[in-house]
Amino acid sequence: MEDAEARRALERVLAGPLRRSARGAAFLRYVVDESLAGRGSALRERAIGVAALGRGEDFDPRLDPAVRVQARRVRAALTRHYAGAGAADPVRIILPVGGYAPVFTRAPVRTGPTPEPLTRGPGVVVLALEDLGPAGEPIAPWLTELLVAELSRFPGLRVIGPVRPGAGAADPRTLGAGHGAEFVLVGSVRPQDDVLHAVIRLVDTRSGATVWSRALREQGTRAEAAAAVVRAVVPRLGDHYGVVARALGPPRRSPGALEAMQAYWAIHADLDPTRLEPVTAALQAALGREPDNALLLAMLADITMWAAEEGLGDRPRTAEEAEDLARRAIALDPANALAHVALAWSMRIQGRDEECRALCARVVELGPDHPYHLLAAGIDLAYTGCWDEGIALVRRSLRLNPDRPDWIRVVLAFDHLRRDEDELALAEGRRVHTPSFALGPVVRAVALARLGRHDEARRELDAARVLAPVLGRDPAQALAGVLVPPELRPRILADLAAIRPPG
């Protein structure tokens, strides 16, 4: 791209969203000038603060976040500009999260009157349920509509329906090809007295195989029974670790938007931090092609917060970057619950507990039956002091999707340890079997030690150190991750040291 084109793009932004922000304009002009001069890879906070923001030679970016603040504001301004008045700009400036060297891209060429749709995730065709009840009492059409409405509330699913097939058109492969969908939801319903019988199946349109099924028998009024069927089906299908995400499996080709989403969902199964970087890279690449995709932005914000918790990079700065991503997603889609999850998490890490708790309430409002969203809000509430309310949400998450990974139970185990309910903590810890997840044996070791079962405690701690060798060298670093409540860390560290000192 010619320098002149990049400079015209800069001038459009300076005359638009940054026209009233002298500091933002100075920041962007400086990083663009340096990048066009071939020095983009050498851009550092201190140099930007001194040269662009007028800070003195004693400027220390570790103590003064001025550069990071301006970067966040400029990113937000660029996002607003290209989503609105600058949508037709031929060249766009992108300021990637985690760096200061701008990237110049050409706007996608639109060949039709409407922009290409953003990737929303795998498609699920909801076929009209078959009504096996007596004539004159149809319940299947209403239940089908309920399934469509509730599935549509789960971000990451592209729900099509209700579809009423003609003769011979109910073959899953045919439906999948016709609607560009990976799955078809089919089933039947039969009311009998005060009982509603329903059989629901999810079929893979690529193979024709049934990947999940349930035979349900719900009692109550028709409305109560129908709602119970929906609760038994929808959260299990649409959760981050739901049937659809597991049936898709890990991506098998270079990451487009859908493959990046698959990678994001897959990492929630085992919390393997070694996969954070490739998943982050896949989401960033997908956003390079779909910069206005609010779901991808929210996923990247969530993964970025995970990286902050795991200590990958500068923790405060990474949390701020996640905040910026989440706010961009919310600006594009105010009802994006996952973006609110990431923003609440960022507020907690930044010590802004009241804002965190307010965002958790919004998360529950937006996704009252989404297991992952409830889990995340529950952890944030518990870890900002609202333990009873938070743990109630964690348990609700598990009721909605009992198939969630067992690592979630360490949160319940920590709550029991906090209450000195060591037998209950041990019982929850014994339900954690996720491979490579060291916190399972850690909570078992602590509970066993408190119960006076020291030999068993040492064996569990040794097993944890095999999974996470850093536990033997630096337990404090090992327990600085995402699921260990900050208020419990000192006591747990003391418990572990009493079992077997580090070294």
Taking CB atoms within 8 Å and a gap of at least 24, the contacts of 274-283 are 276/303, 276/306, 276/307, 276/310, 276/312, 277/312, 279/303, 280/304, 280/307, 282/251, 282/255
Per-residue pLDDT tens digits for 233-290: 999 999 988 899 888 876 665 568 888 888 888 887 767 777 888 888 888 888 888 8
Cα separation of 8 and 104, whole Å? 11
State which of 81-90, 117-126, 317-326, 454-463 shows the largest mean pLDDT: 454-463
Beta carbons of 310 and 319 less than 8 angstroms apart? no
Per-residue pLDDT tens digits for 121-134: 889 999 999 988 77
| pLDDT exceeds 70 at position 481 | no
Beta carbons of 360 and 381 less than 8 angstroms apart? yes
Cα separation of 464 and 350, whole Å? 29
Cα separation of 120 and 159, whole Å? 10
Q: Specify the DSSP element, H or E, that contains 204.
A: strand 195-204
| pLDDT exceeds 70 at position 114 | no
* Mean pLDDT score, 207-219: 93
Question: What is the pLDDT confidence band of residue 168, given thresholds at 50, 70 and 90?
Answer: very low
* Mean pLDDT score, 396-406: 91
Say what the pLDDT of residue 113 is: 46
Preceding peptide of 251 cis, ω within 30°: no
Cβ neighbours around 57 below 10 Å, total: 6
* Mean pLDDT score, 134-154: 85
Say what the pLDDT of residue 109 is: 54
Per-residue pLDDT tens digits for 21-58: 889 999 999 999 999 999 988 899 999 999 999 999 89
Alpha carbon 105 to its chain centroid, in Å, reads 27
Q: Across the chain, what does the average pLDDT equal?
A: 87
Cβ neighbours around 3 below 10 Å, total: 12
* Mean pLDDT score, 155-164: 87
**CATH class in words for 259-499:** mainly alpha
Between residues 310 and 183, the one the model is more confident about: 183
Domains of the chain, by residue range, sit at 3-106, 123-238, 259-499
Cα separation of 384 and 390, whole Å? 9
Specify the pTM. Answer: 0.74
* Mean pLDDT score, 310-316: 68
**CATH class in words for 123-238:** alpha beta
Q: Which amino acid is at 66?
A: A
